[in-house]
Amino acid sequence: MDRLLAILLLALSVAVSATWAGPLSAPFTHDGLFANASMGMGYASFENADGEESLTANGFGARVHGKLGFYVVPDLALHANLGYVMYSNFQEARYGLATYMDHDFYVLSSVYLGVGATYYVPGWNNVFISGSLGLTGYNLNCHKYSGNTGLSALSFDIEVGKDWWVGEHTAIGVSLAYNSGEYWSDDDGVFRSSSMMLLFSVALN
């Protein structure tokens, strides 16, 4: 999972450098190369249950997300997505016990890799809608499970927001993003997650 996080940081740097180096669109238009980097926080939840034990995380979450691609037509970009989410309020329970046992010191995170599209609605002052499909992998360190699952959970990500131009090819934005993923393991039970995040972004066109 550390390797996947390193790939995320590398992808964000490549997005910036590729956009500055490549052919940009006409000023204040959505065309040519597309790059977007965002960070934010909000609510994140996770569950892993196998019928005997459960792991949950429900509470504050933080997210870093990057998109890199190109406009196939003006205002419509296709791109790769790479995201990282940190969870909190981690709890572990064995069925039959009346209460959960808190283990806030454990690390729980996920990495999302997908492909998607972003559309800027013409005449709506840089309001955009973005969506993607991909895979999520989880990294856990607790009594029940230690390690990462690999990119196994089928996931989707949807986002609605608005950008404001701060330069001929640069915009800052704010958005609300929702992500959900789930998969079943015969050995370790079901893994599922979701998050709702308020994001702040920089976009290059």
What's the pLDDT band for 18 if we cut at 50, 70, 90? Answer: very low
Reply yes or no on whether the pLDDT at 93 is more than 90. no
Name the residue among 76, 78, 73, 44 with its Cα closest to residue 60: 44
Reply yes or no on whether the pLDDT at 185 is more than 60. yes
pLDDT digits (tens, 9 = 90+) for 27-39: 788 998 999 999 9
Question: Counting Cβ atoms within 10 Å, is residue 93 exposed (0-12), middle (13-18) or buried (19+)?
Answer: middle
What's the pLDDT band for 179 if we cut at 50, 70, 90? Answer: very high
Q: Can you list the domains of the chain with their CATH numbers?
A: 2-204 (2.40.160.20)
Give 7's DSSP letter. H
Average pLDDT of span 83-92: 87
Q: Give the C-alpha distances (Å, rounded to integers) separating 160 from 25, 39, 49, 173.
A: 23, 15, 32, 11
pLDDT digits (tens, 9 = 90+) for 29-66: 899 899 999 999 999 999 888 877 788 888 999 999 99
Residue 92 bridge partners (DSSP) = 55, 101
